Amino acid sequence: MTPWIIGGAVVLLLVIFISIYNRLVVARNRVDNAWAQVEVQLKRRYDLIPNLVETVKGYASHERATFEAVTQARAAAQSAQGPAEQAQAEGFLTQALRQLFAVAEAYPELRASENFMSLQGDLTDTENKIQVSRQIYNDTVLTYNNLIQQIPTNIVAAMAGFRSREYFEAGPEAETAPTVDFG
């Protein structure tokens, strides 16, 4: 009778281990998916920036330092790795975009340009989507991190090599989207 009890206990522990492991895998995959959604929105932002810079250049070609700052910040943001580095790079890009929009404010004919207005609307929409994606990512990371720290999942997580994920915490300069309303 004792071997059956021990065998049953081992099978039960194995089933529990597999169940917890699978929950951890699902949570980790959700974090990866949420980060991929953030990256989609960031790429959309990066794709809009060259068109925006070129449009402003047509009206304010002497503002070379501002254009270079935006281009450099965009390149740095595109090459950033991981949420922490990405957040820092996004902060610098947001500052550079603010400078670009400050330049644009001095040109009423630019503000009236249909192309500029369209790009402005697209960028505003993208900035809003980035904020939503960032919130979803951070919520997903919170759920995952809680899961790997709670008993008994923390035991399985430690055994299987699951590690905490970092949040996408934008700096204070990126907390608000660049002002793009020239109305």
How many other C-beta atoms can be found within 10 angstroms of the C-beta atom of residue 147? 19
- pLDDT computed for residue 104 by the predictor: 87
- pLDDT computed for residue 95 by the predictor: 93
3-state secondary structure labels for all residues of 107-140: CHHHHCCHHHHHHHHHHHHHHHHHHHHHHHHHHH
Cβ contacts of 78-85, under 8 Å, gap ≥ 24 = 78/46, 82/166, 83/35, 83/137, 83/165, 83/166, 83/167, 83/168, 83/169, 84/166, 84/169
- pLDDT computed for residue 111 by the predictor: 80
Closest CA to 129 of 44, 48, 53, 47: 44
Closest CA to 144 of 32, 36, 28: 28
Upstream peptide bond of 83 is cis (omega within 30 degrees of 0)? no
Give 10-residue mean pLDDT values along the chain (183 residues).
92 96 98 97 96 90 89 96 93 93 87 88 94 97 98 96 93 53 45
Q: Domain-by-domain residue ranges, the chain?
A: 2-174
CB 73 within 8 A of CB 173: no
Distance CA 48, CA 6 (A): 63
**From the centroid of its chain, how far is CA 13?**
38
- pLDDT computed for residue 183 by the predictor: 45
- pLDDT computed for residue 113 by the predictor: 87
How many other C-beta atoms can be found within 10 angstroms of the C-beta atom of residue 168? 21
Note the CATH number of domain 2-174: 1.20.1440.20
Give the pTM: 0.83
DSSP structure class, residue 174: G
- pLDDT computed for residue 70 by the predictor: 94
- pLDDT computed for residue 171 by the predictor: 67
